[in-house]
């Protein structure tokens, strides 16, 4: 089970959300049969989307994070509900780029830097909120920081990490996001900066087996930080036969008629969970009449 923890400084000016997304990322690797470098990209992105989604207020609110950097993995999409339950997909989960000289996975290389990061928040209003920024590095954490600075004017620190074992198995995954909410005192900012300066890299923290509670409280040490809430979040796809039929309907009458005529059965595969839905040509003809 993934776990999200949120902690707030005593003065209410610094919020830290931390997540253990190990199980989510294992599920991603299993479902998408992605190469380790794409698993790392999807894993970082989904970890971020889960934290960002958990900031939504109401049941039914959804957040979509999309990155299109022009790299070999194609467009990456992650969707989170308001409890941080997530699903994701990649244009090309089998994409490969060689590791860097130091042996680390070249996430920036597979994502690319020539493109954009888009955040869509569907909060049940007439129009969803859409924010878009040009990618900074393609490494995802910095791109998220840049998104909050440019699109939402919220000073944010984001750290995301996936730790692989020797045979490319996922040992740990997680991350944290810190947001500074005005009015915040200069002292709080100074203490926070000192804490961050002293903190180890996220992959090291995860490797040391540090729990999200501990990470959040370490970020807020000296600031009277307290855990606000914590709960479990999972990789979860909410696709259904009905919803898939709706997607088919959106292809337009001409395309549906063509499918109904050309084949007895039309198969639609969900990109998020690989579930296959089959529709007979009679069902499609019925759809045409609706
Ligand atoms: Zn699905």
| pLDDT tens string 242-266 | 999 988 888 889 999 999 999 999 9
Helix (H) or strand (E) holding 42, with range, is: helix 36-53
Distance CA 162, CA 232 (A): 19
Provide the pLDDT for residue 174.
98
**pTM summary value:** 0.94
Q: How many angstroms does the Cα of residue 221 sit away from the middle of ligand 1?
A: 41
Q: How many angstroms does the Cα of residue 269 sit away from the middle of ligand 1?
A: 8
Provide the pLDDT for residue 159.
98
Distance CA 164, CA 153 (A): 34
Q: How many angstroms does the Cα of residue 28 sit away from the middle of ligand 1?
A: 12
Q: How many angstroms does the Cα of residue 67 sit away from the middle of ligand 1?
A: 20
Provide the pLDDT for residue 84.
98
Q: Which two tokens stand for residue 188?
A: 């709080």
Q: How many angstroms does the Cα of residue 130 sit away from the middle of ligand 1?
A: 23
Contact assessment for residue 160 and residue 48, using Cβ atoms and an 8 Å cutoff: yes
Q: How many angstroms does the Cα of residue 89 sit away from the middle of ligand 1?
A: 10
Contact assessment for residue 44 and residue 88, using Cβ atoms and an 8 Å cutoff: no
Q: How many angstroms does the Cα of residue 59 sit away from the middle of ligand 1?
A: 20
Q: How many angstroms does the Cα of residue 154 sit away from the middle of ligand 1?
A: 33
Q: How many angstroms does the Cα of residue 215 sit away from the middle of ligand 1?
A: 32
Share of the chain above pLDDT 90, in %: 90
Q: Any idea where the domains of the chain sit in the sequence?
A: 2-233, 241-289
Provide the pLDDT for residue 247.
87
Distance CA 169, CA 28 (A): 12
Q: How many angstroms does the Cα of residue 273 sit away from the middle of ligand 1?
A: 4
Q: What is the CATH number of domain 241-289?
A: 3.90.1280.10
CB-hemisphere CA count at 13 Å for 129?
A: 11
Distance CA 286, CA 162 (A): 47
Q: How many angstroms does the Cα of residue 251 sit away from the middle of ligand 1?
A: 18
Q: How many angstroms does the Cα of residue 236 sit away from the middle of ligand 1?
A: 8
Q: How many angstroms does the Cα of residue 271 sit away from the middle of ligand 1?
A: 7
Q: How many angstroms does the Cα of residue 92 sit away from the middle of ligand 1?
A: 17
Provide the pLDDT for residue 179.
97
Chunked into runs of 10 residues, the chain (290 residues) has average pLDDT values of: 94 96 97 97 98 96 98 98 98 97 96 97 94 97 97 96 95 97 91 97 95 97 97 96 90 90 92 94 87
Topology adopted by domain 2-233 = Hsp33 domain (3.55.30)
Closest CA to 257 of 288, 282, 286, 289: 288
Q: How many angstroms does the Cα of residue 96 sit away from the middle of ligand 1?
A: 25
Cβ neighbours for 115, distance < 8 A, ≥ 6 positions apart: 67, 68, 69, 70, 134, 135
Q: Which two tokens stand for residue 132?
A: 């878009």
Q: How many angstroms does the Cα of residue 276 sit away from the middle of ligand 1?
A: 8
Q: How many angstroms does the Cα of residue 213 sit away from the middle of ligand 1?
A: 31
Q: How many angstroms does the Cα of residue 88 sit away from the middle of ligand 1?
A: 10
What is the per-residue DSSP string for 143-198? HHHHHHHHHS---EEEEEEEEE-TTS-EEEEEEEEEEE-SS--HHHHHHHHHHHHH
Distance CA 238, CA 42 (A): 18
pLDDT tens figures, 172-218: 999 999 999 888 899 999 999 999 999 999 999 999 999 999 999 99
DSSP 117: E
Cα angle 131, 133, 136 (rounded to 5 degrees) comes to: 150
Q: How many angstroms does the Cα of residue 87 sit away from the middle of ligand 1?
A: 8
Contact assessment for residue 86 and residue 235, using Cβ atoms and an 8 Å cutoff: yes
């Amino acid at each position: 089970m993934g776990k999200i923890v949120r902690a707030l400084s005593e003065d209410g000016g610094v919020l830290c959300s931390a997540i253990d997304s190990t199980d989510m990322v294992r599920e991603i690797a299993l479902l998408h049969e992605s190469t380790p470098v794409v698993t790392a990209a999807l894993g970082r992105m989904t970890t971020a989307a889960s934290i960002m989604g958990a900031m939504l207020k109401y049941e039914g609110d959804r957040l979509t994070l999309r990155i299109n950097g022009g790299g070999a993995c194609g467009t990456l999409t992650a969707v989170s509900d308001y409890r941080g339950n997530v699903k994701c997909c990649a244009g090309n989960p089998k994409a490969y780029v060689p590791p860097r000289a130091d042996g680390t996975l070249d996430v920036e290389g597979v994502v690319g830097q020539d493109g954009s990061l888009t955040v869509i928040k569907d909060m049940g209003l007439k129009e969803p909120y859409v924010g878009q920024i040009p990618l900074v590095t393609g490494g995802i954490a910095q791109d998220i920081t840049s998104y909050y600075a440019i699109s939402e004017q919220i000073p944010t620190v984001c750290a995301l990490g996936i730790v692989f074992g020797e045979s490319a198995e996922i040992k740990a995954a997680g991350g944290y996001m810190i947001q500074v909410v005005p009015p915040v005192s200069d002292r709080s900012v100074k203490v926070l900066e000192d804490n961050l300066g002293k903190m180890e890299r996220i992959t090291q923290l995860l490797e040391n087996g540090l729990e999200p509670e501990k990470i959040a409280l370490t970020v807020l040490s000296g600031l009277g930080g307290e855990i606000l809430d914590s709960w479990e979040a999972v990789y979860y796809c909410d696709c259904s036969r009905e919803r898939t039929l709706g997607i088919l309907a959106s292809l337009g009458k001409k395309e549906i008629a063509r499918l109904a005529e050309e084949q007895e059965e039309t198969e639609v595969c969900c990109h998020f969970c690989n579930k296959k839905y089959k529709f007979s040509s009679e069902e499609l003809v019925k759809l045409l009449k609706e």
